[in-house]
């Protein structure tokens, strides 16, 4: 187990290093003269002397390996540099917005687990019948609906027409309902099928047939015998879905006026602030890596066969 954990940590660290190189390459490969762009934004019609001074301040004239090393060394201390456009501390902006994104992903994860579990269990309890067909249709609809379109429909129905829930900001707990549901719909749809298929496969195993022959209730067999065998695959898929919610956050946060890292990333794209973009991308990669690592550890904890394999 310790050898497996050490190998996973090594691979995760290697992935982060590669991601940092790619994120830094975003700034290096950016078209145009960054110093000229910054100078024009801050001082329209800036002379060449000012452009050269800004380039020196930003370290653009240094060799690329040195620029990367200085940036990476700062990142390890939580210093992501200064935004080219805003002139603000990028690390502080990320730390200020991180709680909002965490709340959104946490709310989306809770909704995902609840919806997928209910839909998966309903489909497995009534296979090939009307409940299973209805759940299958809803899962297909949820997985096929773009995040921005689903969010717009929820805003229109529950915010504008019915006026049950707020549609922007984080003023109260109710403000998080629509964003959490929006970011969770696609993931819940996919996971419901993973759980449904896992339970259905487990219900064909010999130990299930033995339990049925002994007269055990079907619901008890499904919950106590089949469900635990479907959990490892579900946990693995759940880790991937929670990691993918970072992409959903980029869409959901601006849609609901939530000032999180996703909204900061979109603002960086609009203003071509490459320092903000590379910092947000690196945070996203770090988040996905940690989530997948946690999912692997949970999967080993709930699967005795994996525990014996890595013992």
pLDDT greater than 80 at residue 162: yes
Question: What is the residue-averaged pLDDT of the chain?
Answer: 81
The model carries a pTM of 0.82
pLDDT greater than 80 at residue 32: no
Q: Could you tell me if 136 and 71 lie in one domain?
A: no
Q: What is the pLDDT of residue 160?
A: 86
Cα–Cα distance measured from residue 218 to residue 216, given in angstroms and rounded to the nearest whole number: 6
Cα–Cα distance measured from residue 9 to residue 182, given in angstroms and rounded to the nearest whole number: 32
Contact between 167 and 159 under an 8 Å Cβ cutoff? The reply is: yes
Residues of the domain holding 32: 2-79
Q: Could you tell me if 74 and 157 lie in one domain?
A: no
List helix spans (H) across the chain. 2-28, 34-42, 48-58, 64-76, 90-125, 130-144, 147-154, 177-202, 206-213, 218-221, 227-255, 261-271, 274-302, 304-309
pLDDT greater than 70 at residue 310: no
pLDDT digits (tens, 9 = 90+) for 71-86: 888 888 887 877 777 7
In-domain check, residue 9 = yes
pLDDT digits (tens, 9 = 90+) for 271-281: 777 788 888 88
Q: What is the pLDDT of residue 110?
A: 92
Contact between 117 and 139 under an 8 Å Cβ cutoff? The reply is: no
* Between 98 and 48, the higher pLDDT residue: 98
Q: What is the pLDDT of residue 43?
A: 66
pLDDT greater than 80 at residue 50: no
Residue after which a domain boundary falls, among 79, 108, 128: 79
Cα–Cα distance measured from residue 129 to residue 289, given in angstroms and rounded to the nearest whole number: 40
Q: Could you tell me if 6 and 71 lie in one domain?
A: yes
- Number of domains observed in the structure of the chain: 2
Cα–Cα distance measured from residue 200 to residue 207, given in angstroms and rounded to the nearest whole number: 13
pLDDT digits (tens, 9 = 90+) for 183-240: 998 889 899 988 888 888 888 888 777 877 777 787 788 888 788 888 888 888 888 8
Q: What is the pLDDT of residue 36?
A: 67
Q: What is the pLDDT of residue 41?
A: 65
Place of tokens 């690196």: 282
Q: What are phi and psi of 82, to 5 degrees?
A: -110, 135
Q: Could you tell me if 61 and 105 lie in one domain?
A: no
Cα–Cα distance measured from residue 226 to residue 218, given in angstroms and rounded to the nearest whole number: 10
Cα–Cα distance measured from residue 155 to residue 44, given in angstroms and rounded to the nearest whole number: 41
Residue 172, burial from CB neighbour count under 10 angstroms (0-12, 13-18, 19+): exposed
pLDDT digits (tens, 9 = 90+) for 233-267: 888 888 888 888 888 888 888 888 888 888 888 88
Q: Could you tell me if 191 and 297 lie in one domain?
A: yes
Cα–Cα distance measured from residue 72 to residue 279, given in angstroms and rounded to the nearest whole number: 11
Q: What is the pLDDT of residue 309?
A: 64
Cα–Cα distance measured from residue 35 to residue 21, given in angstroms and rounded to the nearest whole number: 21
Closest by Cα among 181, 32, 193 to 110: 181
Q: What is the pLDDT of residue 3?
A: 72
Q: Could you tell me if 10 and 106 lie in one domain?
A: no
User: What is the pLDDT averaged over residues 31-48?
Assistant: 67
pLDDT greater than 70 at residue 134: yes
Closest by Cα among 199, 247, 222 to 101: 247
Tokens in use for 53? 């001074």
Cα–Cα distance measured from residue 236 to residue 303, given in angstroms and rounded to the nearest whole number: 11
pLDDT digits (tens, 9 = 90+) for 111-124: 999 999 898 888 88
Q: Could you tell me if 45 and 154 lie in one domain?
A: no
User: What is the pLDDT averaged over residues 163-190?
Assistant: 86
Tokens in use for 163? 């006026």
Closest by Cα among 274, 233, 235, 265 to 247: 265
């Amino acid at each position: 187990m310790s050898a497996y954990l050490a190998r996973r940590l090594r691979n995760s660290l290697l992935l982060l290093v590669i991601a940092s190189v790619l994120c830094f390459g975003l700034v290096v490969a950016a078209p145009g003269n960054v110093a000229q762009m910054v100078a024009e934004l801050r001082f329209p019609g800036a002379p060449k002397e000012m452009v050269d001074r800004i380039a020196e301040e930003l370290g653009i004239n240094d060799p690329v390996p040195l620029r990367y090393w200085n940036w990476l060394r700062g990142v390890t201390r939580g210093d992501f540099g200064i935004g080219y456009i805003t002139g603000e501390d990028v690390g502080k902006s990320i730390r200020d917005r991180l709680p909002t994104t965490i709340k959104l992903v946490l709310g989306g994860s809770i909704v995902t687990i609840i919806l997928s579990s209910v839909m998966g269990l309903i489909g497995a309890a009534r296979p090939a019948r009307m409940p299973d067909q209805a759940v299958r249709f809803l899962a297909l609809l949820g997985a096929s609906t773009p995040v921005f379109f689903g969010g717009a429909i929820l805003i229109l129905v529950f915010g504008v027409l019915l006026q049950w829930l707020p549609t922007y900001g984080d003023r109260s707990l109710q403000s998080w309902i629509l964003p959490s549901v929006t970011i969770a719909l696609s993931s819940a749809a996919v996971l419901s099928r993973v759980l449904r298929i896992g339970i259905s496969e487990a219900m064909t195993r010999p130990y299930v047939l033995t339990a049925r022959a002994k007269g055990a209730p079907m619901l008890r067999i499904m919950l106590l015998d089949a469900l635990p065998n479907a959990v490892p695959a579900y946990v693995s898929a759940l880790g991937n879905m929670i990691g993918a919610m970072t992409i959903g956050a980029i869409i959901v946060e601006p849609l609901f006026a939530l000032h999180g890292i996703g909204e900061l990333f979109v603002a960086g794209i609009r203003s071509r602030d490459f320092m903000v973009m590379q910092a947000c991308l690196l945070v996203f990669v770090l988040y996905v890596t940690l989530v997948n690592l946690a999912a692997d550890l949970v999967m080993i904890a709930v699967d005795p066969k994996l525990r014996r394999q890595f013992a």
